[in-house]
Amino acid sequence: MLNIPVYCNLLWLEKQAAIDCQKGGIKLSFCHSCGLIENQAFDPAKLSYSQDYKNSLHYSSGFQDYADSFAEQLVQSHNLKHKNIIEIGCGKGNLLVSLCERGDNQSTGFEPTYVPRTEHNHMSNKITFIQDLYS
Ligand SMILES: [Zn+2]
């Protein structure tokens, strides 16, 4: 089984810290009933999310274009208009903002590493961010 870093989005300040980082296995399984793909070797005890975790890809204009078209596709194909949406692991909240803007939706995002952002203030009456795991 592979022994790979459990974080893909942490920038290590020291080379040795990167070499010594927490590692874990990958054993993917696929559920033919619902399509879920999961890592059966996942061990949540190896994770310690913090606000150092960099989970945003929105610095890339290519990713922004993808995210915008994905949000539009979700709103259109699932009629996400005037709905209540929950996103578990919402990162910086960009998808929720996009879904709420496009469909006049309300939403709640759960993300232990969420950092409040002033650019989301205009959506504060539409979106609630909870800095915790979904329970
Ligand atoms: Zn399933």
The structural domains of the chain, ordered by start, are 4-46 (no CATH), 61-130 (3.40.50.150)
Residue 57 clears pLDDT 80, i.e. is over it: no
* Pair 39, 26: CB distance under 8 Å: yes
- The two tokens of residue 133 are 């795991």
Give the distance (Å) from ligand 1 centre to CA of residue 29.
10
pLDDT value at residue 86 = 96
Give the distance (Å) from ligand 1 centre to CA of residue 39.
13
Give the distance (Å) from ligand 1 centre to CA of residue 49.
26
What is the rounded distance in angstroms from the CA atom of residue 101 to the CA atom of residue 123?
8
What is the rounded distance in angstroms from the CA atom of residue 111 to the CA atom of residue 35?
24
pLDDT value at residue 53 = 67
% the chain with pLDDT above 70: 93
Q: Which amino acid is at 57?
A: L
| DSSP SS3 for 119 | helix
* Average pLDDT along the chain: 89
% the chain with pLDDT above 90: 59
Tens-place pLDDT, residues 75-99: 999 999 999 999 999 988 989 999 9
